[in-house]
Amino acid sequence: MDVILFLIFAIIAVVCAVNVVVQTHPIASAISLVGVMGSLAVLYLLLGAEFLAMAQIIVYAGAIMVLFVFVIMLLNAGAESKRGRSLVAQLLGFPLLIALLALASYFIQRYYPGTATVQFGAFKAGTAQNIGRALFTQYLLPFEVTSILILIAIVGAVVLARKEL
């Protein structure tokens, strides 16, 4: 049953991710990105990482996507205009994609031949205590740099949204 749920939500995540790139309207892309984030949360649940799944929903599918939609509305971004594709891209795009996937699968199988299979629900390191300990010891510098970048983004959004008097 876990494998079937994994396949269903993995397919949903991939389809929504492709839809993010294919859509011409930014709001439709943002909604497809919410679908990707929701599917990833279900995949985290299948692995037994309940805290990571809820953080995925609250932080990414909630707060970050609201910020994305706010910026899209603030910039008043309309639908992208369709342009003709080049002949080279039409002729070589799909064969080069297949070659890239074949090359990547060859190197993955060559350098990582005998990895263990995933045991659904066996992941026990996703508790709030383990994540908090790693976040404030081993990953303290990246955490603080990220918080400063978010602060800069908030100040930039306020400056852009402020009306001139």
The pTM of the whole model exceeds 0.75? no
Tokens matching residue 156: 């930039």
Report the candidate in 35, 90, 37 with the shortest Cα–Cα distance to residue 59.
37
Q: What's the average model confidence in pLDDT over 19-46?
A: 90
Residue 19 — very low, low, confident or very high, per pLDDT cuts 50/70/90?
Answer: very high
CATH of the domain at 27: 1.20.120.1200
Residue 12 has pLDDT above 60, yes or no: yes
**Average pLDDT of the residues in 38-62:** 88
Would you say 1 and 10 are in contact if contact means Cβ atoms under 8 Å apart? no
46 phi and psi, to 5 degrees?
-65, -30
- Domain assignment present for residue 161? The answer is yes
Number of domains in the chain: 2
Do 71 and 137 fall into the same domain?
A: no
Where is mean pLDDT largest: 11-20, 106-115, 150-159? Answer: 11-20
**163 pLDDT band (50/70/90 cuts)?**
low
Note the pLDDT of residue 91. 86
Tally of CB atoms within 10 A around 107: 10
CA-wise closest residue to 57 among 29, 32, 38, 30: 38
What pLDDT score was predicted for residue 78? 66
Q: What CA–CA distance (Å, rounded) separates 42 from 12?
A: 11
pLDDT in tens, 52-82: 889 889 988 888 888 788 777 777 766 667 7
Q: What average pLDDT score do residues 142-162 get?
A: 87
32 against 117, higher pLDDT:
32
Its domain, for residue 47, covers 1-78
Higher pLDDT, 94 or 72: 94
**What pLDDT score does 164 carry?**
60
**CA 21/CA 30 separation, integer angstroms:** 10
Cα→Cα distances 136→5, 54, 57, 142, Å: 34, 20, 22, 10
**63, 78, 93 — which closes off a domain?**
78
Q: Are residues 131 and 74 in the same domain?
A: no
